[in-house]
Structure formats: C-alpha cells, structure tokens
Amino acid sequence: MRRIQVTETTENKDLVQEDVQAEKTAEEVAQTEVQEEVELSIEEQYEAKLAELQAKLDDEENRHLRLRADFDNLRRRQQLDREAAEKYRAQSLLSDLLPVLDNFERALQVETTSEETASIIKGIEMVYRSLLEATEKEGLQVIKAEGEQFDPNIHQAVMQEQDSEKETGVVVRELQKGYILKDRVLRPTMVSVNE
C-alpha cells in the first residue's frame, strides 16, 4: 500500500509540476501579451506624435511659402512704385509749367512792328525753345491734333464745326495744346471736331 501511495505522490508531484509549468506558461503568455500591448501602445503613441509633428511641419512650410510669396509680391509692388515714381518724377513740375508754355506761345504770336519788338520776340523765342527742350528731355510731348481723327483719350472736344472737305470726327482746329508725359496725358488737347 505504501508503494501505491508513493506512486500516487509522484504522480501528484508531476501533476503539480505540470500545473505550475502551465501556470508559468500562461503567465508568460499573458505577460508577453501585456508587453506587446504596451509596445503597440508606445508605437501608436509614437506614430500619433509623428503624424502630429508632420502636420505642424507641413503647416509651417505652407505658412513660410505664403509669407515668402507675400514678401516677393510686396517687393515687386515697391519696385513698380519706385519705377513709376522715377518715370513720372517731373509730372507735377511739368503740369505747373504748361501755362507758362501757353503764355510763351501767345507772346510769340504777337506781330512785331519795330526792330526793338522783333529783338524782344527773338529773345522770348530763345527762352521758349530752351524751356521746350528741357521739358522734352523729361519726356513731355505735344499731342498732335489738327487733321487727326478725334480720340477722346487725348482730345477734349469743346465745339463742333462743319467742314465738307473733311471727314466726320476729324479735328478741324486746335484751341489749346495738349501734352503727354511718357505715356500719361497731362492735359488733353482742346479741339473743335468736324460734324
């Protein structure tokens, strides 16, 4: 009977050892699963953080590109403004000189009767020519009108006449000279247009 008991005890020990082994294996499996979950959780956190940082980087790059484009546009506008200011720097001075040119032209239309008057007119003509040359150097040009087709961009019609020898819409007479500074009209030419 003792033998049977020893055998049963050995078998019980084996069973207990198998149970302990099974429990250890189950614990290892559970621990491995927990560790894998923790690793997955860390990986997911890492990937989420990486995605968040990538989104921030993309936003900053877009912001940088927009700021760069705005800066380039601002620089281009400033350059165009500087060029326009340089191109038309004399506009206000030349606008103020237009009545002076008109007065010189009126003075030159006076008929001379004596030698003294002729010499004065000659002096006025010399001053007028030098003033005209100086304004032309700045880009001032006279608008041609008489005999030209009426253009509302450069002509100002103040009256109409009837001339059967000329076409309709043609400038018959120039009443006041007009001037262009480079590509801007400083003063349109006052004209009389054929009906």
For the chain, what is the radius of gyration of the CA atoms? 49
Same-domain pairing of 104 and 157: yes
Q: Among 23, 58, 87, where does a domain finish?
A: 87
Query: Which pair of tokens denotes residue 74?
Result: 């601002």
User: How far, in Å, CA of 62 to CA of 73, rounded?
Assistant: 16
Whether this model's pTM surpasses 0.75:
no
Residue 22 pLDDT more than 70?
no
Q: Among 54, 87, 120, where does a domain finish?
A: 87
Averaged confidence pLDDT in the chain: 84
Residue 3 pLDDT more than 60?
no
Q: Supply the pLDDT for residue 1.
A: 47
Whose CA is closest to 192, among 161, 169, 164, 162?
161
Give residue 104's domain range: 88-194
CB 174 within 8 A of CB 191: yes
CB 173 within 8 A of CB 189: no
Could you write out the DSSP letters of every residue in the chain? -HHHHHHHHHHHHHHHHHHHHHHHHHHHHHHHHHHHHHHHHHHHHHHHHHHHHHHHHHHHHHHHHHHHHHHHHHHHHHHHHHHHHHHTTTHHHHHHHHHHHHHHHHHHTSPP-SHHHHHHHHHHHHHHHHHHHHHHHTTEEEPP-TTSBP-TTTEEEEEEE--TTS-TTBEEEEEE--EEETTEEEEPEEEEEE-
In sign, the C-alpha dihedral spanning 24, 25, 31, 35 is positive
Same-domain pairing of 99 and 182: yes
CB 164 within 8 A of CB 132: no
Q: Among 32, 52, 87, where does a domain finish?
A: 87
Same-domain pairing of 40 and 119: no
Pick from 27-31, 62-66, 125-129: least confident: 27-31
CATH (domain of 100)? 2.30.22.10
Same-domain pairing of 95 and 187: yes
Total domain count, the chain? 2
pLDDT band, residue 12 (cuts 50/70/90): low
Rounded to 5°, the CA angle 167-168-169 comes to 115
User: How far, in Å, CA of 110 to CA of 117, rounded?
Assistant: 10
Q: pLDDT, tens digit, for every residue of 116-174?
A: 888 888 999 999 999 999 999 988 999 998 888 899 999 999 998 887 788 888 888 89
Same-domain pairing of 19 and 81: yes
